[in-house]
Amino acid sequence: MKKKYRGVVVPLVTPLTETYRLDVAAVERMMGNLQAAEAMPFVLGTTGEATSLPMSVKKAYANEAARLKSADMLLYAGISGNCLEESVELSNYCFDVGVDAVCATLPSYYALSDSQMKRYFEQLADQLNGPLIIYNIFATTRMSIPISLIDELSYHPNIVGLKDSERSTERLAESVALWADRPDFSHFMGWAARSAHALLAGSDGLVPSTGNLFPGIYRDMLKAVEEGDEEKAFYYQNQSDLFGHVYQSGRTLGESLWALKVLMQENGLCGTTMMPPLQPLSEQEETELKTAFADLLVKEEIQL
């Protein structure tokens, strides 16, 4: 059974000019990189600095990605926010320009009870002109959406899946047990270090930030799982871990996004401008990062 919402979905960085506008030429290069690896684009997520972007940039990005997507691509867009009306408005704009599904975290200012979480997603989904994927990410919202609550929401006609970035093997096992055989609800693993494990367990897809650099790693991992080659799947998991470590280790989430853009610049994909409040780190750190990346490329025999 191949579900509609599945496979490798790359949470794209937001490429910016020095004046904090969307770098349209970079979007084209990034979309081409995904297309070559049969990966799907997810704009305006955590990796895309979405909470810091003005609405004008969000709409421009959704519009440009929709314009560039190929016929076999599904385009996902993040619409998370603390204002329900604004999230609905952005969602329906996205659907109008050609986005296939939107993705939302909980609003992240107030601590919410389980009943408030459920009602929020119901109110959001009720007003959308297309499908919604729930995004659980404790690292930024400081709240964990219970699996039982998500299962209740999974029967809403507009709610089609879960992207789960919480680092819990128990949640993964519980999720797969509930939804692996549900043709109408998909599970995406957002915890990159457990990508191969999740696919082998029965998850429908991955949302790896390292896919901005090397989406082909995850295409090949997925293919290995489909062919039953567990050893090869974990070979690609190791590659994912090594490259993820280069830009993530010892850095906050925001700092790692800058580091990822530095490596993408080395790949000829985009520049390194960050949307405030995120800022670049020192020139020395940038030099050390590029050196570590170059050394790893040689070691892993990967050519840019």
Q: Which domains does the chain have, with CATH numbers?
A: 7-234 (3.20.20.70)
pLDDT of the residue at 242: 96
Q: Across-strand partners of 132?
A: 102, 159
What pLDDT is attached to residue 304? Answer: 60
Cα–Cα distance for residue pair 52/252, rounded to 1 Å: 16
Q: Which residues pair with 7 in a beta bridge?
A: 205
For 72-94, what is each residue's pLDDT tens digit? 999 999 999 999 999 999 999 99
**What percent of the chain is predicted at pLDDT more than 70?**
99
Helices and strands of the chain, counted as H and E runs: 12, 8
DSSP string of 123-169? HHHHT-SS-EEEEE-HHHHS----HHHHHHHTTSTTEEEEEE----H
Q: How far apart (Å, rounded) are the C-alpha atoms in residues 256 and 242?
A: 14
CA trace torsion 74, 137, 44, 21 (10° rounding) = -160
Q: What's the pLDDT at 2?
A: 86
Single pTM value for the model: 0.97
For residue range 202-235, what is the model confidence (pLDDT) as tens digits? 999 999 999 999 999 999 999 999 999 999 999 9
Bond into 277 cis (ω within 30)? yes
**Separation CA 146–CA 171 (nearest Å):** 9
List, run by run, the mean pLDDT of 10-residue segments along the chain (304 residues): 94 98 98 97 98 98 98 97 98 98 97 98 98 97 97 98 96 97 97 96 97 97 97 97 97 98 97 98 97 93 71
